[in-house]
Structure 1
Amino acid sequence: MGLNIEGGCLCGAVRYRATAPPVSRSICHCRSCRRASGAPSVAWSTFHVNSIVFLSGMPVRYRSSTHVVRTFCGNCGTQLSYRHDDDVGSIDITTATLDAPEEFPPTKEIWIEHKLPWERTNEAMRHYPRTSTS
């Protein structure tokens, strides 16, 4: 994992850089992540918020629930980040938007209680009914 980890949206309008490696990596099965992404689950890489810098473009913010702000590209719609008001020091970046997502494999699956019955879990990972901190 390099010190300059970069990524961006589908159309390239929004680009970002992480200056430190992620502090955790997960796959989320919660209903709101599924609805926001249109996918059965979402891989997230969690970074210290001060290590993420936007290089070009600014994502659009959307408060998806009382305590959560998600961002996406206003041009192509790519979901980019997730922030919870209770954890102001971190930001989750959608792993698939990283230029080299294969370098950041998830280590855990969260919100298993919301997992779609036809999606398989990876038995090599740790599993949590909800968040890994609750």
Structure 2
Amino acid sequence: MTYARDDEPGSIDIALVALDDAGGLAPQRHIWVKGKPGWVSPSDGLSQYLRSSTGEGAA
């Protein structure tokens, strides 16, 4: 449901699909788009990263 990484102190990732009501939360970026299904095409203008949003560069 959540995870934190040693190389990103102060950052906690939350899987929005795990929440009963995610209405008050909005995505800030798309990560791990390298592994997305072919039919998924984020078109909301947010930054997309092949893997992590640190050190991998934008897709």
After TM superposition, the score normalised by the length of structure 1 is: 0.34
- Per-residue deviation, 1:109: 0.8
Moved more, 120-129 or 103-112: 120-129
* Paired residues, number: 54
Distance 1:112 1:118, change over 3 A: same
Mapped pair 1:125 → 2:12: no
Show structure 1 runs of 5+ residues with no match.
1-79
From the two aligned structures, give the one with the greater helix fraction: 1
From the two aligned structures, give the one with the greater strand fraction: 1
Mapped pair 1:106 → 2:5: no
CA distance in 1 between counterparts of 2:7 and 2:36 reads 24
After superposition, the CA RMSD in angstroms is 2.1
CA distance in 1 between counterparts of 2:42 and 2:31 reads 10
CA distance in 2 between counterparts of 1:89 and 1:127 reads 21
The percent of aligned pairs where both chains have the same amino acid is: 33
Mapped pair 1:91 → 2:23: no
CA distance in 2 between counterparts of 1:91 and 1:132 reads 13
- Cα deviation, 1:26-72, whole Å, max 9, x if unaligned, reads xxxxxxxxxxxxxxxxxxxxxxxxxxxxxxxxxxxxxxxxxxxxxxx
Q: Could you say what secondary structure the match of 1:124 adopts?
A: coil
- Rg (Cα) greater in structure: 1
- Per-residue deviation, 1:98: 5.7
Show structure 2 runs of 5+ residues with no match.
none
